[in-house]
């Protein structure tokens, strides 16, 4: 397959070395576009594709943005990452998107392959770019590196045998256990999330499940109670990560929300452990 036949991936950001995106030292690749619209989204500029309205172009003082034939052009070499463009965008998007094929991205991965154990592709919601993901993972596996998907779990990954063949592990958000609460929080119910957790857990394809704890907004006790019971039933060794809500980068609606106390996080951890999740951690 040559470059012309390859799928174009829309990449928001690449972090060459990360030790918080799965096992070991990993390259973290964030794809643009998400089907959730979480109340507490920490990077809302990853939600939508740019519609080329051009409003952010004059905001850039460094001439990194321009309009050519009605489309925003981004010059990464001139960009100083001040994010003034992102602050201007009213469409939950970013002009700083790189369109890239798996072969092109592999050139960046090959440069650091001796320093990483694998790559983690996140988002946005990376599984919305499933073909690009599969092409990239197929190539990455040939280097002997591991491949992780960081996902909101809303697409039926468990049914995608081709993708799973080249995916080592998934990291799945369990944002709320009750489907209606999940809908209020994200815009979608969570039946597919639960099915993914159940089926991918049976296939030993889960590295961790994560729940963000937001006091006064979510029924955290219910989600942790039900979620940990589900995990314990599938495999008590699956890592269950309880994440303290922090109001960095979120939209104004939630800025005033209380940050959970350490005592409350420990109370939730105790619930999960009592339910049999022996690998529960707080971050
Ligand atoms: S990033 Fe936002 S503001 Fe800039 S052109 Fe695209 S949609 Fe318009
Ligand atoms: S982040 Fe880059 S492209 Fe955006 S305004 Fe700043 S310099 Fe310009």
Tens of pLDDT along 14-34? 999 999 999 999 999 999 999
Q: Specify the higher pLDDT residue, 259 or 166.
A: 166
Same domain, 78 and 107: no
H-run or E-run covering 136: helix 130-141
Which pLDDT score is estimated for 87?
Answer: 94
Domain count, the chain: 2
Pocket test for ligand 1, best of 48, 59, 87, 88 (most atoms within 8 A of CB): 88
What mean pLDDT comes out for the span 191-218? 96
Q: What percent of the chain has pLDDT over 70?
A: 96
CA atoms within 13 A on the CB side of 152: 26
Q: Specify the higher pLDDT residue, 247 or 254.
A: 247
Q: Confidence class of residue 42 from pLDDT cuts 50, 70 and 90?
A: confident
Same domain, 202 and 111: yes
pLDDT higher than 90, residue 168: yes
pLDDT higher than 80, residue 275: yes
Q: Confidence class of residue 254 from pLDDT cuts 50, 70 and 90?
A: low
Pick the last residue of a domain from 58, 88, 118.
Answer: 88
What mean pLDDT comes out for the span 205-219? 95
Tens of pLDDT along 67-117? 999 999 999 999 999 999 999 999 999 999 999 999 999 999 999 999 999
Q: What is the CATH number of the domain that holds 68?
A: 3.30.70.20
Which pLDDT score is estimated for 43?
Answer: 87
Ligand 1 binding pocket (C-beta < 6 A) is 50-56, 72, 88-89, 91, 93-95
Same domain, 151 and 138: yes
The residues pairing with 71 across neighbouring beta strands, listed in sequence order, are 68
Residue 30 zone, left/alpha/beta (φ > 0; ψ -120 to 50; rest): beta
Ligand 2 binding pocket (C-beta < 6 A) is 59-60, 62, 64-65, 79-85, 96
Same domain, 54 and 172: no
Pocket test for ligand 2, best of 43, 56, 84 (most atoms within 8 A of CB): 84
What mean pLDDT comes out for the span 188-201? 98
Q: Confidence class of residue 216 from pLDDT cuts 50, 70 and 90?
A: confident
Residue of 114, 120, 125 lying closest to 207 (CA atoms): 120
Which pLDDT score is estimated for 250?
Answer: 74
Range of the domain at 56: 50-88
């Amino acid at each position: 397959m040559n470059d012309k036949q390859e799928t174009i991936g829309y990449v928001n950001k690449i972090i060459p070395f990360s030790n918080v995106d799965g096992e070991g030292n990993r390259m973290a690749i964030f794809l643009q576009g998400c089907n959730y619209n979480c109340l507490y989204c920490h990077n809302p500029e990853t939600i939508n594709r740019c519609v080329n309205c051009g409003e952010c172009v004059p905001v850039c003082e460094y001439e990194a943005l321009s309009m050519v034939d009605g489309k925003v052009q981004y010059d990464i070499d001139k960009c100083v990452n001040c994010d003034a463009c992102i602050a201007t965008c009213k469409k939950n998007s970013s002009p700083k998107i790189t369109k890239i094929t798996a072969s092109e991205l592999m050139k960046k991965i090959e440069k650091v392959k001796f320093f990483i154990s694998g790559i983690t592709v996140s988002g946005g919601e990376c599984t919305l770019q499933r073909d690009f993901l599969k092409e990239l993972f197929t190539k990455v596996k040939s280097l002997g590196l591991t491949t992780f998907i960081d996902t909101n779990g809303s697409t039926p990954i468990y049914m995608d045998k081709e993708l799973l063949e080249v995916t080592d592990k998934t990291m799945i958000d369990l944002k709320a256990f009750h489907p209606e609460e999940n809908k209020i929080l994200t815009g979608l119910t969570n039946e597919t999330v639960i099915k993914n957790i159940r089926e991918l857990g049976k296939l030993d394809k889960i590295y961790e499940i994560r729940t963000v704890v937001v006091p006064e907004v979510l029924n955290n006790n219910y989600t942790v109670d039900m979620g940990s019971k589900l995990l314990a039933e599938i495999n008590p060794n699956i890592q269950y990560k309880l994440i303290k809500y922090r109001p960095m980068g979120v939209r104004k609606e939630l800025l005033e929300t209380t940050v959970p106390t350490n005592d409350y996080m420990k109370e939730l951890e105790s619930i999960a452990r009592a339910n049999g999740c022996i690998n529960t951690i707080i971050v």
